[in-house]
Amino acid sequence: MHQDFQPCVYLMASRRNGTLYCGVTSDLLQRVAQHRDGTFEGFTARYDVKTLVWFEQHATMEFAIQREKRSKKWSRAWKLRLIEEGNPAWRDLACHLGFAPLS
């Protein structure tokens, strides 16, 4: 299941129109696995945020971090619109990366 990924900014959701989390990572597969298995205590574990609904790859980690910092300031409506434009069915994009569907 391992692929080499470029640095990514990503959005996870608890469900359609549910709680959202924005993060940055250099290894999207590993980070999705950590969110799914509850490795990260706190916000994502507390609100059951496990569904990858959007991600964007960047050439460098520096660019990804800049984009993540800006995206954390975006309104919720803007984030929802971003998800809807690229993933209108709110599919779990992690399934396309080799993960089993969430139950």
Give me the pLDDT at residue 39, please.
Answer: 85
Instruction: Supply the pTM of this predicted model.
Output: 0.90
The CATH number given to whatever domain includes residue 76 is 3.40.1440
> Which residues form the domain of 74?
8-97
48 Cβ contact list (under 8 Å, min separation 6)? 14, 19
Residue 41 — pLDDT band, cuts 50, 70, 90? confident
For the chain, the distance separating the N- and C-terminal CA atoms, rounded to the nearest angstrom, is 20
In a domain, 1, yes or no: no
- Identify the pLDDT of residue 2: 46
pLDDT band at 1 (very low <50, low <70, confident <90, very high): very low
Q: What is the mean pLDDT of residues 77-84?
A: 95
Residue 103 lies in a domain: no
Q: What percent of the chain has pLDDT over 90?
A: 76
Domain count, the chain: 1
Over residues 2-25, mean pLDDT: 89
User: Are 6 and 67 contacting, i.e. CB atoms less than 8 angstroms apart?
Assistant: no
